[in-house]
Amino acid sequence: MSDERWRECAKSREALLRMTVSDRDVRVLRPRRAAPADAVRQTRAEVNLAALRANLRMLRRYTEGAAVWAVLKADGYGHGAPAVARTLERAGVNGFCVALFEEGVELRDAGIRAPILVMGGYYGGVHREMALRGMVPVVYDLAQVSQFARLVRSGVIDGPVRVHLKVDTGMARLGVTMTDLPQIVTAIEQCKEVHVEGLMSHFASADLVDCTDTERQLAVFEEARLLLKRGGIDPALCHVANSAGVLRRMGNMDAVRPGIALFGVSPFSPAREGVPGPEFQQAIRVRTEVIAVREVCAGERVGYGGSYTTNRPSRIATVAMGYADGLPRLLSNRGDMLVRGHRAPIVGAVSMDMTMLDVTAISGVAVRDEVVVLGGQDGDLGHDFISAAEIAAHAGTIAYEVLTSISRRVPRFYREP
């Protein structure tokens, strides 16, 4: 390349770097999820679409007539947001909630026409694209409101822009504080380019036995609603209830925002026995296969670091799933998988791509046998079920993390039983 051509390229690159995000067309790139048609390894997640519809019907029994806006953050809690959204949209869900603009783009590109609420609040320079794609932003400070108002005033988008205003009722994460709320109400009331369609907050402790904090949050939310009304703002949609709130019938206002309950997983801790919703169906099942079986003498070590030592002659099966697939490494030497309808304990350290099981007590285990990591299995030795909550308890985490950690290299298969 000549010196002159090199200088021209350098200038072009510098000009591009000086451009703000709003100066350029925004192209959102997402990691490609493994496609079922491309799968060679038999590790996969099976999503029961009928269970999703059944869970939605069950939730409606608790909503007291409120509109249901399904929360599909984090790739639909690991289930694959586009397929889940299409199923729920056809089943009559009223709208969807996502955390990121990128997640909303994925739903729109999948043909979803229902309203999409973008709750994260970090919009960078995509305000125009959000409005053009028919997404509704959540706002909680004047800078966000001003950015949308400027786009309307400049004629870039048609107004007014519909927004949902978030208030902080006691979680100290996002939302306008009650101290700052009067100021933002005054500013919005004078800003005709922005229309507050909704008022929202988020429960911090609705899954706990003690309802005191939740009741306190509801009282603060009502105070905020009245403050808006006195300022001439009367949102059509007030919403605060998550899955736990819905099931406890706390905060069922104009709309509710269930997430994990739609996928058949309880939002309550296992200690809360007798909570509503035991009839929900876990919608996802993760399975893999045995790829090797070996006889191991007593006293031999298994896996990285030799963290497990056999105390008897043992049969060790290697299965094709590891922490890169979303299996928590904290399951090393704890927890089980299902083989032939029987529990096989995990032994040794969970590897990146593989995990070992002690199948000594299970007769006839062979290469290509199905292994269930999450969900149920009917085998010739019986039936058993491993829940997301069980895995979470062994790994010292919560079911939400178990589900959302299932990696994109595990293909999702969708079925109608």
What mean pLDDT do residues 102-118 have?
A: 97
Boundary (domain end) residue, out of 234, 263, 292: 263
Which residues, in sequence order, are bridge partners of residue 167?
A: 176
With respect to residue 269, please indicate whether it lies within any of the assigned structural domains.
no
DSSP code at position 176: B
With respect to residue 416, please indicate whether it lies within any of the assigned structural domains.
no
Nearest to 318 by CA among 344, 285, 284: 344
With respect to residue 336, please indicate whether it lies within any of the assigned structural domains.
yes
Please name the helix (run of DSSP H) or strand (run of DSSP E) that holds residue 373, with its range, or none. Answer: strand 370-379
247 and 140 share a domain?
yes
254 and 353 share a domain?
no
With respect to residue 42, please indicate whether it lies within any of the assigned structural domains.
no
Nearest to 123 by CA among 142, 107, 99: 99
Quick one: pLDDT at residue 35?
76
The per-residue pLDDT for range 22-44, each reduced to its tens digit, is 444 555 555 566 777 777 889 99
227 and 148 share a domain?
yes
Quick one: pLDDT at residue 21?
43
Tokens matching residue 370: 């199905």
Q: Which of 11, 62, 73, 192 is catalytic?
A: 73
- Tokens 């390349």 belong to 1
Burial class, 311, CB count within 10 angstroms (exposed 0-12 / middle 13-18 / buried 19+): exposed
The whole-angstrom separation of Cα 297 and Cα 360 is 12
236 and 288 share a domain?
no
CATH of the domain at 246: 3.20.20.10
The per-residue pLDDT for range 78-97, each reduced to its tens digit, is 999 999 999 999 999 999 99
Give the number of other Cβ atoms within 10 Å of residue 328's Cβ: 19
The beta-carbon contacts of 381-389 under 8 Å, at least 24 apart in sequence, are 381/340, 381/341, 381/342, 382/341, 382/342, 383/341, 384/338, 384/341, 384/342, 384/343, 386/336, 386/337, 386/338, 387/265, 387/282, 388/265, 388/282, 389/265, 389/266, 389/270
The whole-angstrom separation of Cα 318 and Cα 345 is 12
Looking at the chain, the whole-number percentage of residues with pLDDT higher than 70 is 90
Q: What's the predicted TM-score (pTM) here? A: 0.89
248 and 293 share a domain?
no
Q: Within 13 A of 32's CA, how many CA atoms are on the CB side?
A: 4
Assess whether 123 carries a catalytic annotation: no
pLDDT of 398 strictly over 70: yes
pLDDT of 12 strictly over 90: no
216 and 360 share a domain?
no
With respect to residue 272, please indicate whether it lies within any of the assigned structural domains.
no
324 and 249 share a domain?
no
With respect to residue 320, please indicate whether it lies within any of the assigned structural domains.
yes
What is the pLDDT of the chain when averaged over all its residues? Answer: 91
With respect to residue 292, please indicate whether it lies within any of the assigned structural domains.
yes
Q: Total structural domains in the chain?
A: 2
Nearest to 312 by CA among 334, 301, 297: 297
Q: Which of 122, 192, 229, 304 is catalytic?
A: 304
Range of the domain at 295: 284-386
What mean pLDDT do residues 366-394 have?
A: 96
Assess whether 11 carries a catalytic annotation: no
